[in-house]
Protein backbone atom coordinates (compact mmCIF):
# COMPACT_ATOMS: atom_id res chain seq x y z
CA UNK A 1 0.00 0.00 0.00
CA UNK A 2 1.42 3.39 -1.01
CA UNK A 3 1.49 6.35 1.35
CA UNK A 4 -1.49 8.70 0.83
CA UNK A 5 -0.91 12.21 2.23
CA UNK A 6 -4.66 12.85 2.38
CA UNK A 7 -4.98 10.14 5.07
CA UNK A 8 -2.31 11.70 7.33
CA UNK A 9 -4.03 13.75 10.06
CA UNK A 10 -2.24 16.17 12.39
CA UNK A 11 -4.16 15.92 15.67
CA UNK A 12 -2.04 18.00 18.09
CA UNK A 13 1.32 19.78 18.08
CA UNK A 14 3.71 21.54 20.45
CA UNK A 15 6.83 23.60 19.76
CA UNK A 16 9.62 24.41 22.17
CA UNK A 17 10.12 28.17 21.72
CA UNK A 18 13.72 28.01 22.91
CA UNK A 19 15.05 25.01 20.97
CA UNK A 20 12.60 24.75 18.06
CA UNK A 21 11.83 21.09 18.78
CA UNK A 22 8.42 20.07 17.42
CA UNK A 23 6.26 17.35 18.95
CA UNK A 24 3.16 16.18 17.08
CA UNK A 25 0.42 13.58 17.33
CA UNK A 26 -0.58 12.13 13.96
CA UNK A 27 -3.09 9.54 12.85
CA UNK A 28 -2.84 7.81 9.48
CA UNK A 29 -6.27 6.82 8.17
CA UNK A 30 -8.11 4.84 10.85
CA UNK A 31 -4.89 3.89 12.66
CA UNK A 32 -3.89 4.63 16.22
CA UNK A 33 -2.57 8.10 17.10
CA UNK A 34 1.24 8.18 17.19
CA UNK A 35 3.75 10.64 18.58
CA UNK A 36 6.30 12.20 16.24
CA UNK A 37 9.39 13.90 17.68
CA UNK A 38 10.75 16.49 15.27
CA UNK A 39 11.59 18.13 13.07
CA UNK A 40 13.32 21.10 14.67
CA UNK A 41 12.43 24.58 13.39
CA UNK A 42 14.83 27.50 13.19
CA UNK A 43 15.05 31.02 11.80
CA UNK A 44 17.48 31.59 8.94
CA UNK A 45 19.72 34.66 8.70
CA UNK A 46 17.31 36.20 6.17
CA UNK A 47 14.44 35.84 8.67
CA UNK A 48 12.66 32.97 6.93
CA UNK A 49 11.81 29.74 8.73
CA UNK A 50 13.46 26.38 8.11
CA UNK A 51 13.36 22.89 9.58
CA UNK A 52 15.93 20.19 10.13
CA UNK A 53 15.98 16.62 11.44
CA UNK A 54 15.70 16.39 15.18
CA UNK A 55 18.94 14.55 15.89
CA UNK A 56 20.05 14.37 19.47
CA UNK A 57 18.12 16.06 22.26
CA UNK A 58 19.67 18.66 24.54
CA UNK A 59 19.02 18.88 28.27
CA UNK A 60 16.64 21.78 27.51
CA UNK A 61 14.70 19.53 25.11
CA UNK A 62 14.47 16.73 27.69
CA UNK A 63 13.33 19.11 30.43
CA UNK A 64 10.66 20.55 28.12
CA UNK A 65 9.49 17.04 27.20
CA UNK A 66 9.23 16.09 30.86
CA UNK A 67 7.11 19.21 31.50
CA UNK A 68 4.57 18.50 28.75
CA UNK A 69 4.55 14.68 28.73
CA UNK A 70 1.44 14.35 30.92
CA UNK A 71 -0.47 16.67 28.58
CA UNK A 72 0.75 14.69 25.56
CA UNK A 73 -0.40 11.41 27.17
CA UNK A 74 -3.85 12.89 27.94
CA UNK A 75 -4.26 14.14 24.35
CA UNK A 76 -3.17 10.79 22.89
CA UNK A 77 -5.54 8.88 25.17
CA UNK A 78 -8.36 11.24 24.17
CA UNK A 79 -7.73 10.53 20.51
CA UNK A 80 -7.72 6.77 21.20
CA UNK A 81 -11.20 7.18 22.70
CA UNK A 82 -12.41 8.97 19.54
CA UNK A 83 -11.33 6.16 17.24
The ranges assigned to domains in the chain are 5-82
C-alpha–C-alpha distance, residues 47 and 52, integer Å:
16
How does DSSP assign 9-54, residue by residue? Answer: EEEEEEE-TTT-EEEEEEEETTS--EEEEEEEEEE-TTS-EEEE--
pTM: 0.85
Please say whether the beta carbons of 41 and 49 come within 8 A.
yes
Question: What is the arrangement of strands in the sheet containing 49-52, beginning at the earlier edge strand?
Answer: 8-15, 21-28, 34-43, 49-52
Per residue of the chain (83 residues), give pLDDT as tens. Answer: 799 999 999 999 999 999 999 999 999 999 999 999 999 999 999 999 999 999 999 999 999 999 999 999 999 999 887 76
Amino acid sequence: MAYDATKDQLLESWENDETGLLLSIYRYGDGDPKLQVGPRSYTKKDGSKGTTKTGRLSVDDVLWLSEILDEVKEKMNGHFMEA
